[in-house]
Copies of this chain bind each other. A is one copy, B any other.
Amino acid sequence: MLLSKSCVYGLRAALYLAAKKNGEYHSLREMSEELEISFHFLTKILQQLTADGLMESYKGPNGGVRLSRKGGNATLFDMVIAIDGPGLFTQCALGLPGCGSQEPCPLHESWVDTRSSIENMLKKTSLTKIAEEGKEKHFRLTADGQFSW
């Protein structure tokens, strides 16, 4: 798997918030139900994202989470880094330490190419752009496609 489940859930939640745009707080309960993600698990994941400054939260009635300024301008890459860390973009095809820093292997060139094609794709894709396209084209965020933007 390219991305961990935590990461995928985090992305879905971030897209959810980006689509609602207006900087309102949305409760985790609401999000977990609409996105069909375990409430407590989602809580954990979004805690990471708020700790990382990509989201901000507010406690109490009508509280919830929303994208921070930083989060609103973020790309998929930023989200992936915040949750899965940089491993995907630094680690080596053969699991050897120090990719590229020592004598390379024949895989190196092709590997580094595809690795940065992943990286570039994630970097050029901003949350808000995706969310807008998502609303236009009615893409789904849930397995059953029941989620409406």
Q: Contact residues of A with B, CB < 8 Å?
A: 1-3, 5, 8-9, 11-12, 76, 87-88, 91, 93-97, 102-108, 110-111, 113-114, 117-118, 121, 124-125, 129-130, 133-134, 137-143, 145
Contact = CB atoms under 8 A, between A and B. Distances in A.
Contact of A8 (B88, B95, B139): B95
Contact of A97 (B11, B107, B143): B143
Contacts of A1: 1, 87-88, 91
Given A93-B3, A142-B96, A105 B134 contact: yes
A107 B125 contact: yes
B121 A106 contact: no
14 contacts: A1-B88, A2-B88, A3-B95, A11-B94, A12-B95, A76-B107, A103-B137, A104-B137, A105-B140, A105-B141, A107-B130, A111-B121, A114-B117, A114-B118
Given A3-B93, A8-B94, A113-B121, A103 B143 contact: no
Contact of A114 (B91, B104, B121, B134): B121
A94 B141 contact: yes
